[in-house]
Amino acid sequence: MIARALRWLMLLQLLAVLGVAWLLLQAGVRPGALALLLALAALLLVRALIVGRNFWHSRRFGCAPAPHGLTAAGAARLFFGEVGANLRTSSWGMLRPRLSPVAEATPGALPVLLVHGYVCNRGFWAPLSRRLAQAGIVHGAVDLEPVNAGIDDFVPLVAQAVDALLAQTGARQVIIVAHSMGGLVARAFLRRHGLRQVARVITLGTPHHGTALANLAVGRNARQMSRPGGKPNGWLAQLDADETPQLRALFTSIWSHHDNIVAPQASSHLPGATNIALGGVGHVALAADPRVLQQVLSEITIVSEVGTAAFAHQYG
Task: Determine the angle formed by the axes of helices 32-61 and 2-26, rounding to 10 degrees.
Answer: 130
With cut-offs at 50, 70 and 90, classify the pLDDT of residue 313: very low
Nearest-Å Rg of the Cα atoms of the chain is: 21
pLDDT at 84: 95
With cut-offs at 50, 70 and 90, classify the pLDDT of residue 63: low
Residue 108: CB atoms within 10 A of its CB come to 11
**Residue range 276-289, pLDDT digits in tens:** 999 999 999 999 99
pLDDT at 172 over 70: yes
**Residue range 203-249, pLDDT digits in tens:** 999 999 999 999 989 999 999 999 998 899 999 999 999 999 999 99
pLDDT at 160: 98
Cis-peptide, bond into residue 271, ω within 30° of zero:
no
| 193: exposed, middle or buried (Cβ count in 10 Å: 0-12, 13-18, 19+) | middle
